[in-house]
Amino acid sequence: MIDTYLSPALALGLAILLAFFFRNWNVNAPLPPGPPTRFIGGNLHQLPKTHPWKKFTEWSKEYGPVYSLRIFRNRMIVLSSLKAVSDLLETRSAIYSDRPPSNMRGKLAGRATSAFMTSSQDPRFKPLRKMLHSGLNPRAAQTYRPVQLAETRVLLKNLAVNPDKFIAHMRRNAGALILKVAYGYQVETDDDKWVKMIEDAFALSAGISVPGRFYVQMFPFLKYVPKWFPGAGFKRKAEELMKTLRSVNQVPFDWAKAQMINGTNEESFVSMHLGPDAGKNLSADEEEIIVTSSAALYIGGADTTVSALTTFVLLMILYPEVQKRAQVEVDSVTSGRLPTLDDLAALPYITAMVKEIIRWAPVAPLGIPHSVTRDDTYNGFAIPKGSRVVGNIWAIAHDEELYPDPFTFNPERHLGETPQIDPFKFVFGFGRRVCPGAHLAELSLFLNVASILATFTITKALDANKREIEPPVDWTGVTVSHVKPFPCQFIPRSKDIMASLDGN
C-alpha cells in the first residue's frame, strides 16, 4: 500500500521541482513570444547546427523582432531589428553590456577574463576597454598607415606570383598588420609560426560558443567530470584550446618585452603601454591587462578582416559590372599608381563597396552575445536578469525595410543624397561592447580593396577545357563566418603598378 502512494508522490514532487526550476522569474510581464518549447530541453532540439542566424531570422518573421528561446533553464532573447538593438544594447547599454557565463569557453578553456568575455561587472573591464581604445582610435590609427601600405604591397606581390593561394596571402596580410601594430613583430612568410599559431586557435575555437553544442553549458556540474570519462571529449577539447590560446596571449608578448629589454624593439602597442622601463614598475595585474589587450588586437582583428576580403574577391566574380565601375573610379584618381589612404575622400564608390561587402556578408552574423544584469521590460515583455541577449546582425543587414532587395550586392545603396543605413553602425557590435578596432578594419579594407582593383581584374577560374568554373557560394557556420574556398584568377591590368612592385 505504501508503494502504491509513493510513486505518485515522487512523480508529483518531481513535477513541482521541475516547474520551479523552469519558472518565469519575472511575473509582472510575459516573456517575448517564441517557438514552442519542450518541457525539459526547451528549444534545444530546434537549434540549427550551422548558420543559426538564418533560422533565427526565419523565427523573427513569425514571432517578431524580439523573441525568446529556452535551452533547458537558460533564456535567450533574440533581437532582429535595428530599433530593438538600438533601444536595448545601445540606449540601455548600462545593463546590457555583460557577457553570459560560459562553462565551456570561459571556465574550462580559461577565456572568462579575455577582452571579449570579461564581465562588465569585473573591475578589469573599464581598464581593458580604455587601453584598447587608446591603441585603436582614429588618431592612433594614423600612425599605422606606413605599415598598412607596406603590407598591402606585399599582398599584391604575392597575388601576382601565386594567385591560387589568395586566401593564405590575405590571412598573412591581416596577421602581419596586427602583429606589427601590437608587438612590433615583422611577418616574413605566409607560413609564419605566429600566424599559424592563431590559425590553429581559430580552428579549435570554431563553434565552441554555439548554444546547445556542449551540454556542460546547460549542466555546469559536468565540468567536474574527469577528462578520461566516456563522453568527456569536451574537456579534452577545452584543455587543448586553453593551451593554444595561452600561447597566443603570452608568446608574442614575451617576445616584445624581451626586445624592449635588449633595446631592439620597434614601437608597438605593447611598448607604448609597458613604457621605457619595459614594465618593471607595473604590477602583475597591470601587466596582465596589457597581455590581454594586445592579444585582443590580434584575435579580434585578423580573422574578421580575412572574412571580408575573401568575400570581396567572390563578389567581384559574381558582379563583374561592379568591378568595372570601381576600376574606372580608381584609375581616374590614381593614374597608374597605387592608391593610398589619402585618396579615400576621392573614391566614394570604393567606400560604398566596402560598406556593401560587410552588409551583404557580415563577418560575425550573430556577434558575441550580451547578458542583462537586472530584470527589464521592453514593449510589454519581460527580459529576465541573466538572459543571453543576441543581436542578429545578419537579419538587420538583410532587413528589406532598411535595404530593399537585400540579397543583391549593390554599392549604390550607400551613395547619393539619401543613402541607406551605414552598416558600420551595427556590424561590429553594440554599445559598450562595440569592436574598438572597427576604424582600423575599415581603413584596411578600403586600402586593400582599392589596391587590388587598381592592380588586377578578378575573374572566374577556367577548367582544363578553358570553360569558366562557377564558384560555389557557401559559408562556414561559426562565430566569424567565412566564404568557403573557391577558384579564381587575378589578371594583372596595370604595367606601371606591376613594375613598381617588381622594383621593391
pLDDT at 133: 85
Nearest in space to 294 (alpha carbons), one of 471, 436, 161: 436
Q: What is the pLDDT of residues 353-407, one digit of tens each?
A: 999 999 999 999 999 899 999 999 999 999 999 999 999 999 999 999 999 999 9
CA 411 to CA 2: how far, in whole Å? 76
Specify whether the CB–CB gap between 370 and 389 falls below 8 A: yes
Burial class (CB in 10 A: 0-12, 13-18, 19+), 153: middle
Q: Name the β-bridge partners of 489.
A: 459
d(CA 17, CA 20): 5
Range of the domain at 423: 29-502
Average pLDDT over residues 68-81: 93
pLDDT digits (tens, 9 = 90+) for 254-283: 999 899 898 888 888 888 888 888 777 888
Q: Which three cell numbers stand for residue 193?
A: 609560426
Angle at 95 between CA 90 and CA 97, to 5 degrees: 65
pLDDT at 18: 47
* pLDDT for res 380: 94
Query: Which whole number is the average pLDDT over 205-224?
Result: 63
Residue-level pLDDT at 426: 94
Question: Is the pTM for the entire model greater than 0.85?
Answer: yes
Q: Which three cell numbers stand for residue 363?
A: 563577418
User: Does 22 fall in a domain?
Assistant: no
Write out the three cell numbers for 293: 589587450
- Pick from 356, 380, 390: nearest CA to 85: 390
CA distance 236 to 232: 7
Q: How many CB atoms lie within 10 A of CB 122?
A: 15
Mean pLDDT on 165-178: 91
Contact 427, 480 (CB under 8 A): no
In the structure, how many helices (H) and strands (E) does the chain have? 17, 8
Instruction: Say which residue the cell 568557403 belongs to.
Output: 484
C-alpha distances out from residue 362 to 365, 392, 393, Å:
5, 10, 7
CA 371 – CA 386 distance, rounded (Å): 6
Identify whether 334 is part of a domain: yes
Q: What is the mean pLDDT of residues 219-224?
A: 64
Total count of residues recorded for the chain: 504
Q: Which of 206, 207, 213, 221 is nearest to 44 (CA)?
A: 213
Residue at grid coordinates 518531481: 14
Was 488 annotated as part of a binding site?
no
Residue 474 lies in a domain: yes
Give the chain's domain count: 1
* CATH (domain of 348): 1.10.630.10
Report pLDDT digits (tens) over 96-105.
999 988 766 6
pLDDT at 15: 46
Distances (CA, A) of 381 to 87, 95, 304: 14, 16, 34
How many angstroms separate the CA atoms of 88 and 94, rounded? 10
pLDDT surpasses 50 at 232 = yes
Q: Are 283 and 370 in contact (CB under 8 A)?
A: no
Q: For residue 340, what pLDDT is reported?
A: 93
Res. 198 pLDDT band, cuts 50 70 90: confident
Does residue 331 belong to any structural domain of this protein? yes
- Residues 464-476: tens digit of each pLDDT: 898 999 998 888 8
Contact 420, 413 (CB under 8 A): yes
Average pLDDT over residues 199-207: 69
Q: Provide the pLDDT for residue 1.
A: 46
Question: The C-alpha cell of 23 is what?
Answer: 519558472
Domain membership of residue 6 (yes or no) is: no
Q: Is residue 160 part of a domain?
A: yes
Rounded CA gap, 194 and 30, in Å?
50
Sorting pLDDT into bands at 50, 70 and 90, what band is 14?
very low
Q: Is 371 within 8 Å of 386 (Cβ atoms)?
A: yes
pLDDT of residue 188: 84
User: What single-letter DSSP state applies at residue 346?
Assistant: G
Beta strands 488-492; 370-371: pairing state: unpaired
Cell of 275: 613604457
| β-bridge mates for residue 367, sequence order | none
State the pLDDT at residue 209: 58
Average pLDDT, the chain: 85
For the cut 80, the answer to whether the pLDDT of residue 157 exceeds it is: yes
Is position 323 within any domain? yes
Do the domain assignments include residue 444? Answer: yes
Please tell me the predicted confidence (pLDDT) of residue 358.
96
Which residues are CB-contacts of 175 (< 8 A; sequence separation ≥ 6)?
187, 192, 194, 195, 198, 298, 302
pLDDT of residue 223: 62
Give pLDDT, residue 3.
Answer: 45
Distance (Å, rounded) from C-alpha 482 to C-alpha 474?
Answer: 8
Instruction: Pick the more confident residue, 159 or 100.
Output: 159
Residue 29 pLDDT > 60, yes or no? Answer: yes
